[in-house]
Structure 1
Amino acid sequence: MTQTVATTTPARVAGAPLDRQTKRRIIIASTVGTTIEFYDFYAYATAAVAVFPYLFFPKNQDPTVGLLASFATFGLAFVARPLGSVLFGHFGDRIGRKATLVGSLLTMGIATFLIGLLPTYAQAGVAAPAMLALMRFGQGLGLGGEWSGAALLATETAEKGKRAWAAMWPQLGAPFGFLAANGLFLVLVTILGHKNGETTGDFMTWGWRIPFLLSAVMVLVGLYVRFKLEETPVFAHAVDTGKKVSTPLTEVFKTSWKPLIIGTFVMVACYTLFYLVTTWILSYGIGKRENGGLGIAYIQFLKLQLISIFAFIAGIPLSGWLADKFGRRRILLVVSIIMIGFGFTFPIFLAPSTATTNTVLAFLTIGMFIMGLIFGPMSAVLPELYPTNVRYTGSGIAYNVSSILGAAIAPFVATWLVKHHGVGSVGIYLVTVTIISLLAILAMPETKDHDMTQI
């Protein structure tokens, strides 16, 4: 296997300038792949609020209970993601980044496509939510290996001094995927018609399946792009120098346990913020006022989210540029302080007695922009914490364990907090988690000038 990888080693050395064709190919491969992965993930997140509580769980229960049950299956993927990072990380550090990226994309795509074919609770009883949970687990397994592979593809081929800028391209897959998934749901709801809580009509009967089934087309596009990739020069260097390890998981816990802890907690607040301003806010925004929500029409709320996502897109390249200019640590510290301030504004924007569509849009836009600023440098920060021979595994574990601590429980916790303590308590929850990440950032070394070929 070592010989096979070595024969495909590109002549270019790590940090050398890229020719235009190679640069374009890497940008497309890292961005398109993560766009597809996040599209699949967000399609589920949207359906977890508007579709699954009504079609995949018993109807004779409290609406909040149905929503919490749906969020539980949503969170299941985050349990699977660390397992995916271990599985795909093993192959990514053993046989290379390219082949592993193809495998992660296929895993995610197949699971998402099958969701579009599942029977509902009325058709299959308890087997329906069980199959939904299984497919959700498959989604998480694939995404667990996807992000770190795309991040390594970008960072390990980046030009010297431009690593954070290069690494921001896979990060753009998050808002692009969100835009595609929610945009498609908006089109379907507009054409087929749908009101909050409806269980009949064309959208709830068959229309909701279309975003999941269309993922098959997107996966084929992603596979075509990724099959044209070459192995990264950094990994090729590790192969040529005989520095690969046989068990990356064991090695990363033996030699890089501190970066694992630091990297995990650096990401926690980032994840918490994102799933508060995407998944939880959707359920809170379209929830009926008698159930503690804001009572905004589903189609109107989707429009607000689609407008605000452009603030997310704007924040990512800005933070990538700033991270190359001023360093990763300084940027993350400043943005974390801004996030703490944002947490105290939840009652101002979202209190049921005073909230309007304009205040909700302002909340979403500010939150998304902050999200872009904190998320943008992460695909450089986490890979830079680890040596080459365990980088795929280490960055993947940190990224995905933080997803359990930050994202998997965020919608569930926030829904419970609103019901018992009001919307202001959700902001305090964000403040608390951000302080934890702030401490991890203070403990993190500056990695701006880190040598990526280091073993």
Structure 2
Amino acid sequence: MSHATLPDDREQHRKARKAGIASFIGTTIEWYDFYIYGLAAALVFGKVFFPSDMDPGLATLLSFVTLWSGFVARPLGGVIFGHLGDRIGRKTTLVITLVMMGVATMGIGLLPTYAQIGIWAPATLVLLRILQGIAVGGEWGGAILIASESAPKGKGILYAAFAQQGSPTGNLLATLAFFALSTLPTPDFMLWGWRIPFLLSALLVIVGMVIRLTLEESPDMQRLLREKKTAKLPIMEVLRKHWLVVLLGAGTLPVIHVTYFKSTFALSWATKTLGYSQGTFLSIIIIALVVQFISQPLGALLTSRIDMRKAVAIMVLPEFILMPAMFFAVETEVYWIAAVGMCLATIPHAMFYGAIGGILARAFPTRVRYSGLSLAYQLCSLAVGGATPVLAQWILNSTGSIVGVAIASAIYAVVSLACTLALLRITGHRASDLSTAERADAEQLGEPGPATDASPRQPAAGKLLGASPG
């Protein structure tokens, strides 16, 4: 490599690291806001926002339904902000989603209870949760792309993992906040203590705004804007030309939503049915989240080093056994057995989550990447994410046994493995090669060189993905 190119390489890596770190901090704040709702739904909302004489199991189920409303709204956020992200850029869109999430979260922290305003309390709670869902529906895809599109060639999956680290970090911060508040007397916690994590969001949003406003637009998006090749209606182009990739992309993701089995549902089940104290079980979740934070990047590293199909199988197959086993470990009510069970169950889906963002980003061409990526992720969130604690609570209420919940968690892994292997067959299975969508980009935007690097065994992008010729 010549001396003339070294400064350019260093500058590219500097910008890539900055984009990765900014994505990590932004997604941490967004997921913190999203996860504190799930914890509050498990611990508080059934008692605070529903009638006091309601059956506790039904009240908990209804609080999980309000949780689900945020997931129902996430595809709408994916469509709205996917359109904006593909039309005007990733950076501006991410600033809007951060502000929206912060406003909704603070609103929940200030919301009067059922005893104060009656039915308007749960109704307003659902409205604010929907706003959260719209915001996070647009956040995830943009954060993945601002990191992966700024990465050096062949490093997109690794840099996308920066954004993915925001999920366990935000979840950890949310759980630590409620863990600290668990020392309050129960009346104080129910009256005002639970509100503190929601109100703290204002400070986090200010930090996130400062960071995001200094961020540069991704190089891929800059090139599209400069050459005026953005899609007029990205969502329509995605649905018309890339619908199969969207469906397979959504199908890859159920296994990442088992986190709602082991956090939101398990927290409610363990504290209300098994007899764990709130602080005790939150400490188990905290340990598992630390394990997730450590193990998650290993998935991106593994996927970047070996055939992605083998990497996915290595990551997902253990979940068939470990996630069902976790429930029986928790059921022993022995602290160390429950903690070990939850940590072991966390590692497979954490590693998979670390890799899947970058895998999905490779599946769509730049001009509709934000829309396609967001739609795939949020369709799964609608069908699976928010429904997970509702499904688990319904199974428990109906059968009185955890066996059905354990079986459901294993099914999630089956679906994810099958769909991921099918997707990789279409898009390409080596991270070092350009995917079919990336090769289509190289041809359409007139980039020299990289388009010839892809493996000749991969089918033409235009035939598989219906890439537009111009």
Q: Fold-level match, TM-score > 0.5?
A: yes
Amino acid aligned to 2:349? M
Q: 2:407 aligns with which of 410, 413, 428?
A: 428
Cα distance in 1 for partners of 2:307, 2:245 equals 18
Q: Which residue of 2 aligns with 1:7?
A: none
Q: 2:66 aligns with which of 73, 77, 86?
A: 73
CA contact (8 A) 1:104 1:145 kept: yes
Amino acid aligned to 2:274? L
Cα distance in 2 for partners of 1:150, 1:347 equals 33
CA contact (8 A) 2:69 2:126 kept: yes
CA deviation string 1:205-252 (max 9, x = no partner): 111111111101101111110110111111112223332111001011
| 1:6-405 alignment, distance < 5 Å | 18-19=11-12, 21-190=14-183, 192-194=184-186, 201-271=187-257, 273-287=258-272, 293-346=273-326, 348-351=328-331, 354-405=332-383
CA deviation string 1:116-148 (max 9, x = no partner): 110000000000000000000000000000000
1:418, CA displacement in angstroms?
Answer: 2.3
The structure 1 segments of at least 4 consecutive aligned residues displaced by more than 3 Å after TM superposition are 15-21, 451-455
- Whether 1:408 aligns to 2:382 is no
- Whether 1:450 aligns to 2:434 is yes
CA deviation string 1:312-350 (max 9, x = no partner): 011211111111101433222222211112244246413
Cα distance in 2 for partners of 1:314, 1:154 equals 20
CA deviation string 1:32-57 (max 9, x = no partner): 10000000011101100111110000
1:261 partner SS: helix
1:301, CA displacement in angstroms?
Answer: 1.0
CA contact (8 A) 1:164 1:380 kept: yes
2:371 partner SS: helix
Compare 137-146 and 155-164 and name the one that shifted more: 155-164
Cα distance in 2 for partners of 1:419, 1:215 equals 34
1:376 partner SS: helix
Gaps of 5+ in 1: 1-11, 195-200, 288-292
Gaps of 5+ in 2: 445-470
Cα distance in 2 for partners of 1:308, 1:220 equals 29
1:303, CA displacement in angstroms?
Answer: 1.1
TM-score scaled by length of structure 2: 0.87
CA gap of 1:18–1:364, structure 2 versus 1, over 3 A, is farther
Cα distance in 2 for partners of 1:436, 1:175 equals 23
CA contact (8 A) 1:82 1:397 kept: yes
Cα distance in 1 for partners of 2:203, 2:259 equals 27
Amino acid aligned to 1:247? L
Cα distance in 2 for partners of 1:323, 1:283 equals 35
1:442, CA displacement in angstroms?
Answer: 2.2
Cα distance in 1 for partners of 2:81, 2:285 equals 32
Amino acid aligned to 1:251? E
CA contact (8 A) 1:97 1:231 kept: yes
Alpha-carbon RMSD across the aligned residues, in angstroms, is 1.7
Percent identity between matched residues is 37
Cα distance in 2 for partners of 1:81, 1:348 equals 32
Cα distance in 2 for partners of 1:423, 1:270 equals 20
TM-score scaled by length of structure 1: 0.90
CA contact (8 A) 1:314 1:369 kept: no
